[in-house]
Amino acid sequence: MSQSQSTVGGWHRPMVARLSSEEHRAATALELFFDLCFVTAVAQAATAFEHELAEGHIADGVLGYAMVFFAIWWAWMNFTWFASAYDTDDVPYRLLTLVQITGALILAAGAADALQHDDFTVITWGYVVMRLAMVTQWLRAARSDPERRSSCLRYAVGILVVQIGWVARLALPEDWGLPLFAVLVLAEIAVPVWAEAPARTTWHPHHIAERYGLFTLIVLGETITASTVAVRAALDGEASFGDIATLVVGGVLTVFALWWLYFAQNAPRRLTGFKAAILWGYGHYAVFASAAAVGAGLAVNVAHATGHGHISDRAAAAAFTIPVAVFITLVWLLHHRAQELRSRNDLIHPVAVLAVLALTFAPGAVLATGIVAAALVATTLLVATRARRAADPAEAGAGGETGRADG
């Protein structure tokens, strides 16, 4: 039994590194609660994004959504990787996690102002609260883990310095806001690369893959919830179910297909080293953001179909097809390496992405997107089944099983 699980909820224990080869490592109840609280911020950001798109503020909406979602994703990701290496589940650890949850709720409260009025004051303070809690966690780890003390201290110092930058940004002229935001983002994502140089932290591949999968699952669930709210609002008005039936079918079919495509992969086999971990972790920014944006895009299409909103048919379609295309593209890229693209079967996903984007210019884009996504799932299943049968003639003779589509 690992030291962090031997007395769950103990008052205090040294924050020593957990083994990256630890058996039966799974997400904890605290991590799941943490995710659910963070999804509140995701939901608020997606709702504000939907409002901006429906009002025709496309460029400002996309930019604001990308900025707000960075704060949500980066704070979530940093906690996830830290917990994979140093989860002690003692009282100080739980209380610091509570501080981060509080910061996430503050951030959620400021999402609408950030997107609609370009006011990042509340967002910034919520973000800084979360990040300062992480500084304390890293200082605890530095004290208890001599082997990786220099790395832990680098994390603490790097995060603290960047937070000073975020607070200072609030006092600078408005024209400096966007350029300084870009600089601070680059600084944030550089901290792990710099901090891990002296000694690598002991994150657990299967635990990380599960954590990312669970958050993807929750975000896709939030997408369904947001879509349901939009449908309910339309039906409460003058719309009938027949007016939006194709949108409902297409939306549900699409989200189910996205879920299938994501979880049809063997994620832990990709997390084989630090470079792979960086690509995996950073690449999920677009996975999470696009998953949440799919719900916003579907809600925009429901509003548009019922005579609300101020955008064209093509813009409404793009609000749905583009995030779907981004999600499929990122899932494909995260699970394939360039040297593995050896046959035309490896290009199934890019072809599907092009088809989805082309639907932006066609009527019935939401339903058609759902059909294309479902066809992509069916095709990957067929290809995977044929590959297994070719590798195992005995399975081919027995008929085989459908199993996991790892392509």
Fold that domain 206-398 belongs to in CATH? I/LWEQ domain (1.20.1410)
Q: Torsion over CA of 195, 196, 197 and 198, rounded to 10 degrees?
A: 90
Q: Report the C-alpha gap between 362 and 18 in whole angstroms.
A: 52
Angle at 280 between CA 277 and CA 282, to 5 degrees: 100
Q: What secondary structure does DSSP assign to 296-361, as a single string?
A: HHHHHHHHHHTT-SS--HHHHHHHHHHHHHHHHHHHHHHT--GGG--SGGGGHHHHHHHHHHHGGG
Distance CA 138, CA 301 (A): 45
For residue 397, what pLDDT is reported?
A: 52
Q: In the chain, where does the domain assigned CATH 1.20.1410 lie?
A: 206-398
Per-residue pLDDT of 30-76, as tens digits, reads: 999 999 999 999 999 999 999 999 888 999 999 999 999 999 999 99
Instruction: Quote the pLDDT of residue 268.
Output: 78
Q: Tell me: pLDDT of 373 over 70.
A: yes
Six-digit token pair at 393? 């003639």
Phi, psi for 21 (deg, rounded to 5): -105, 10
pLDDT band at 401 (very low <50, low <70, confident <90, very high): very low
Asked if residue 237 has pLDDT above 80, the reply is: no
- pLDDT confidence bin for 228, thresholds 50/70/90: confident
For the chain, the average pLDDT equals 88
Confidence label for 291 from pLDDT (cuts 50, 70 and 90): very high
Q: Is the pLDDT of residue 371 over 70?
A: yes
Write out pLDDT tens, residues 297-318: 999 999 888 877 788 999 999 9
pLDDT at residue 6 tops 50: no
Read off the pLDDT of residues 320-329 as tens digits, 9 standing for 90 and up: 999 999 999 9
pLDDT band at 25 (very low <50, low <70, confident <90, very high): confident
Q: Model confidence over 104-157: pLDDT tens digits?
A: 999 999 998 998 888 999 999 999 999 999 999 999 999 999 999 999 999 999
For residues 173-190, give the mean pLDDT.
Answer: 93
Q: State percent of the chain over pLDDT 90.
A: 64
Instruction: Inform me whether the pLDDT recorded for 229 exceeds 60.
Output: yes
pLDDT for 404: 46
pLDDT digits (tens, 9 = 90+) for 263-285: 987 777 778 888 888 988 999 99
Element (H, E) at 263: helix 241-263
DSSP secondary structure of 130-154: HHHHHHHHHHHHHHH-GGGHHHHHH
Question: Do the beta carbons of residue 393 and residue 362 sit within 8 Å?
Answer: no
Residue 187 pLDDT > 90, yes or no?
yes
Place of tokens 């990256």: 20
